Every structure is written in C-alpha cells, then in structure tokens.
Chains A and B, each alone.
Chain A
Amino acid sequence: MADPAQNEFIQQAIKLTQSLRYSLSKTLERVAHPADESKEENEGDYINSVKEGLISISQEIEDLEKLATKLKPINGVYALGSTLAFGLDSSQEKNKHYQELNKSYRYLQKVNIHSNTSWQHLQQNMGQHRRNYVPKKKKVHQLATNRHENLSVIVATVQRNLPHTALSATKTADNFNVIQMTQGKVFKAAIALRGTNIEWIVVKASNEKLHNENGELDMWGQSKYEVFRKITEQAEIAANMMSANANEIALQHLLKWLHGYHNIFTAKCSKCSKHLKQMLPPVIREFRSNDIFHEQCRA
C-alpha cells in the first residue's frame, strides 16, 4: 500500500476524474441551455459544440481507463482506510485516501446514472445526426448472480440461533440484496450485498431510521451518534476482512458478530472494567474471541 508510484497513480486518477467531471458538467450545461441569446447560431453549430463536448468526455474516459490499468489490483485483504488500523492504533492521517476514494466512488456512481440518462435523451433528440457520432460500446455493468433465495436461507439459519434479533432479507430497486437486523431497542443495522460480497454496511441507533422519506434504504447515511459511527467503522473493518473469502459461512459469522453489540450500553470493558473511556462505551467486539474492549484498551 505504501508504494509511492501507486499513490502517484491514484492522485492522477483523482485529478483526471475531476477534469472529467468538469467537461461533463460543461457539456450537460450546454445541452440544458441550447438557446444562447447573445450569439445567434444555427442548430448545426449547437450540435457540433455538444459533439465536441462528448468527444472530449470519451477521450477523458479513455485516459482514465488507461490509467486504471496501471493501478495494481490488491490481492487478499483490500487495505482501504480503516483496515490499515485493524490491530493497530488508528490514526486519521493514514486514512485520507479512504475519504477521497469514497467521495469519488459516490461521484462516479452518479456520473454513471446521469450519463446513461443523458445518452438516452441525446439518442431521441439528435435523430438523424446520430450517424455522425459513433458511440463507444456501452459497457455492461456486471451484476453478480442473484442469490436472493440463498440469502433467505442464511438469514433463516442465523435467525434460529438469535431468537431475540429480528432479521430480514430484502431486495432494493437497484438490485442490492439487503439484510436488515434489529436488535431489540438497542440498535439496527443494514448490510447491502451483491451475491455474498458486502458492498456497504451501517449500524444506527434504535431511534434512527435506515430509510429515507421515500422509503428507500439510505445508502450513504451515517448515524448521528458517535458510538454507532464507531461501531459502523468496526463493521466495515470486519466486512473488509471477510471480503478476502466471501462465502455464506463468513456472512453468518458476521451476523453473529454484529449481534455481539446487543450489550453495547451495558457491557463493561474486559480490560479496564469501566463503561466509559473518552465518553464512549467499549465499541470493540473481537472477531474471534468476542472479547469486549474500548478502542484504547485493546492490547
């Protein structure tokens, strides 16, 4: 991870993404405001300028893809952000890429959706001009096979062992499988999966919502409480550990481990025998031993 050349590539990729973002918004702006009062121009000029914009976008995407091949795939545990801190003292300075990558990922997801929509519009509106423009072959977004039925089986198996926990498996509109866990009046959690790969996990307080006003799962919402943000961080680390060999057994383990937080407010730290350290209860549940620690008390 500490390879300076790799870091350089990542920086370049971020810069390139930013410039792609600029060209895209400029082009979309142009598409949204066809009539420029100050300059009289004909339809041909307008279409040409949109076309130029599209060409520069596709050029930039190509550059980005080229650069992406230089980025080495990381084998085994994907050492992003908090994973580095696993078993070490966590320090914010080491984690700055994680935040930036997270933002870029969200942004690129949006770009994907917006560009698909604008492509559809352009296809309809440009009609005959289409033959001048040869679009790049649309990349098919690969979806993992739907294992929703499998997931229900996993959930049912775990549910038998945890009678006081409410577990459910659902599917979102954008094809994520979601496991929801409600632990009495203590906490609730949601895990979004593709296949058995965990894409996203969040833990929130009993008095918070996992869904937004439209009833959709709030994929990027954080808990407003420090204690649950810390637990979410731990869950992300656990999910990343698991991603090295994602299978059904690992997923069952993760659910059982998450259930270990049922006593988050009542359990004392095994080292200092206190509830509070820096005003937080012990937020660590060791993955194998299930020992309970404050972040600062873990050996």
Chain B
Amino acid sequence: MGVNCVISVPMEENKSGQYVITKLQKKIENLGAKKAGHFSVDCETYQSQIPIEGQVKVINNVHDTEYPASTFSFVENGPHLVADNTLDMLFAKMDSFYAPKKNFKIEAKGVRYELNDFLIKVGSVIIGQNTSVKGILLQIDYTPCILYNDSWGIITELLHILGINPNITNFFKSRLEKKESSVDYTDCAQQYLELFNSVRKSMTVNQQPPGMSSSPVMIQGRM
C-alpha cells in the first residue's frame, strides 16, 4: 500500500457526469493504463437515537472494495477504528441506539486501472436509491511510496498530465504539512468521507430556493 490521493473532479457545464467520466477514462487509457476490475467505496451514516452528552452523535461506516473484509468506522469529530465487517451486523442489532439515516447512503463506484506502479480509480458518486451522478471522484495511488511529501511531486505531475487541478482534501493537506508523514490504512477512507460530506453539503445547498442559501455558496463537488 502506497500513498493514495482522492480528489473531486469538477463537472462540466451542460455536460452529463457520464460524459466527464468517459473523457477522463479515455485520457487514462491513452497513457497505457490497463483495466483491472471495478471498485466501490460506500458510506452508511448512523445517528444516535438518544442524545449523548446533550448531542446527537453521528457515526460514518465506510466500506472499500480494496479491503473487502473491513469496515472503517468514524465517529464524527471523534476517534475512528478499523474492524471486521461483522461490525455492520452489530450495528444492525443496535438500531434502537444508533439508526441509519434514511436515503443517506452514499457510494462512489467505477473502474480501476493499473498504470505501471500507479493504481487509478475513476468513480461516480450516487446517493440513496437515486442513480444520477452527483459528483466524480478520482483516486490515484502511487504504490511504491509511503511518504506523503515524497509522493506529492509525482502525483501532481500525473494529475497535470490528466488535466486535473490538484484540489486536495483538508486531510491530505494536513498530511503534507507534517514532515515524514507516512500512509496508514484508514487514510483512503478518511479522504472519501471528507469528499462524500462535501457532496452531501452541496446537494442540500442546491435544494434550497435561490437566494436562500447561506453564504458562502458551496461550489458543487468542491471542498
């Protein structure tokens, strides 16, 4: 496992999400990348049914097909843990304490590519049962390198070749700021979670009538 970087790819005006995805996939394939199956990362959100310390607590459980036997569980503004995916069954049993938010399940899925030592994933984001594309995510893993700072020049150069602005997550930024910071198993899930949250936020902003949205206006698909 090397450094992984997940960023959101902006939509294009008057173009479908699928159009942007196909264009990006073409570019990746033109570099000589080989298709290597599919991937999906999803996130189920649970809310505490009884207030804890006067607050409604939120837990996000992330699944990644790259780690099929694990569940990454994040307490909002709190600690996180990695467990066997039987954790999901445990959550199903405690639904009187923590219940899943209805129609809140969010998922990114798409094609996995191998390009030399790079692993590249292009995924469309969908929410709940609705299959329309709500955002596009691009994940680049530079597998031989485990140091964030060391990998950054190489990853930005690849993003540049693909014609994509390196809008990195706050999480990734925080890793770059620390010297000699090396990669951890939960890093990928953390980045997806941050991007999922921003897609959800942009959805709620878009649903409000014009003029009602609280400033500053969120730009869809961006942090």
Q: What is the interface of chain A, defined by CB distance below 8 A to chain B? A: 184-186, 205-207, 223, 225-228, 265-266, 268, 274-276, 278-281
Considering the complex, which residues of chain B in the window 22-50 have a beta carbon less than 8 Å from any beta carbon of chain A?
A: 31-32
* B153 to A: closest C-beta gap in Å: 5
Decide: A207 near B154, CB < 8 A? Known: A225-B144, A265-B147, A279-B31: no
Q: Please name all residues of chain B whose beta carbon is closer than 8 Å to the beta carbon of A268 when the two chains form the complex.
A: 153
Instruction: State whether B143 touches A275 (Cβ < 8 A).
Output: no
Q: Which residue of B lies closest to A228 (CB)?
A: B144
A-B pairs with CB below 8 Å: how many? Answer: 59
Q: Whole-angstrom distance between the alpha carbons of A56 and B31 in the complex?
A: 55
Considering the complex, which residues of chain B in the window 99-135 have a beta carbon less than 8 Å from any beta carbon of chain A?
A: 115-118
Q: Whole-angstrom distance between the alpha carbons of A280 and B116 in the complex?
A: 8
Q: Which residue of B lies closest to A276 (CB)?
A: B157
Q: Please name all residues of chain A whose beta carbon is closer than 8 Å to the beta carbon of B117 when the two chains form the complex.
A: 225-227, 279-280
6 contacts between A and B (CB under 8 A): A184-B147, A185-B146, A186-B147, A265-B142, A276-B157, A279-B115
Q: Please name all residues of chain A whose beta carbon is closer than 8 Å to the beta carbon of B151 when the two chains form the complex.
A: 265
Q: Please name all residues of chain B whose beta carbon is closer than 8 Å to the beta carbon of A225 when the two chains form the complex.
A: 117, 143-144
Decide: A266 near B146, CB < 8 A? Known: A276-B161, A279-B115, A280-B116: no
* A78 to B: closest C-beta gap in Å: 30
Q: Please name all residues of chain B whose beta carbon is closer than 8 Å to the beta carbon of A266 when the two chains form the complex.
A: 149-150, 153
* B28 to A: closest C-beta gap in Å: 11
Q: Please name all residues of chain B whose beta carbon is closer than 8 Å to the beta carbon of A274 when the two chains form the complex.
A: 157
B1 CB–A CB distance under 8 Å: yes
Residue picked from B1, B2, B147, B150, most chain A C-beta under 10 Å: B150
B145 CB–A CB distance under 8 Å: yes
Instruction: State whether B2 touches A207 (Cβ < 8 A).
Output: yes
Q: Whole-angstrom distance between the alpha carbons of A111 and B146 in the complex?
A: 40
Instruction: State whether A279 touches B147 (Cβ < 8 A).
Output: no
Number of chain B residues close to chain A: CB under 8 A: 24
B88 CB–A CB distance under 8 Å: no
Q: Whole-angstrom distance between the alpha carbons of A89 and B211 in the complex?
A: 64
Q: Please name all residues of chain A whose beta carbon is closer than 8 Å to the beta carbon of B143 when the two chains form the complex.
A: 225
Instruction: State whether B150 touches A265 (Cβ < 8 A).
Output: yes
B76 CB–A CB distance under 8 Å: no
B180 CB–A CB distance under 8 Å: yes
Decide: A276 near B180, CB < 8 A? Known: A185-B147, A207-B146: no
Instruction: State whether B116 touches A207 (Cβ < 8 A).
Output: no
B182 CB–A CB distance under 8 Å: yes
B205 CB–A CB distance under 8 Å: no
* A272 to B: closest C-beta gap in Å: 11
Q: Please name all residues of chain B whose beta carbon is closer than 8 Å to the beta carbon of A207 when the two chains form the complex.
A: 1-2, 144, 146
Q: Whole-angstrom distance between the alpha carbons of A225 and B158 in the complex?
A: 17
Instruction: State whether A275 touches B157 (Cβ < 8 A).
Output: yes
Instruction: State whether A265 touches B145 (Cβ < 8 A).
Output: yes
Q: Please name all residues of chain B whose beta carbon is closer than 8 Å to the beta carbon of A186 when the two chains form the complex.
A: 145, 147, 150
Considering the complex, which residues of chain B in the window 149-205 have a beta carbon less than 8 Å from any beta carbon of chain A?
A: 149-151, 153-154, 157-158, 161, 180, 182
Instruction: State whether B116 touches A279 (Cβ < 8 A).
Output: yes
* A136 to B: closest C-beta gap in Å: 49
* A107 to B: closest C-beta gap in Å: 31
Instruction: State whether A275 touches B153 (Cβ < 8 A).
Output: yes
Q: Which residue of B lies closest to A279 (CB)?
A: B116
Q: Whole-angstrom distance between the alpha carbons of A274 and B158 in the complex?
A: 11
Q: Whole-angstrom distance between the alpha carbons of A282 and B200 in the complex?
A: 41
Q: Whole-angstrom distance between the alpha carbons of A48 and B28 in the complex?
A: 66
Q: Which residue of B lies closest to A268 (CB)?
A: B153
Decide: A279 near B146, CB < 8 A? Known: A226-B116, A265-B151, A274-B157: no
Q: Whole-angstrom distance between the alpha carbons of A201 and B33 in the complex?
A: 30
* B152 to A: closest C-beta gap in Å: 9
Q: Please name all residues of chain B whose beta carbon is closer than 8 Å to the beta carbon of A278 when the two chains form the complex.
A: 116
Q: Which residue of B lies closest to A265 (CB)?
A: B150
Residue picked from A184, A225, A265, most chain B C-beta under 10 Å: A265
Instruction: State whether B154 touches A275 (Cβ < 8 A).
Output: yes
* A123 to B: closest C-beta gap in Å: 50
| Choice from B1, B118, B145, B182 contacting A279 with Cβ under 8 Å | B118
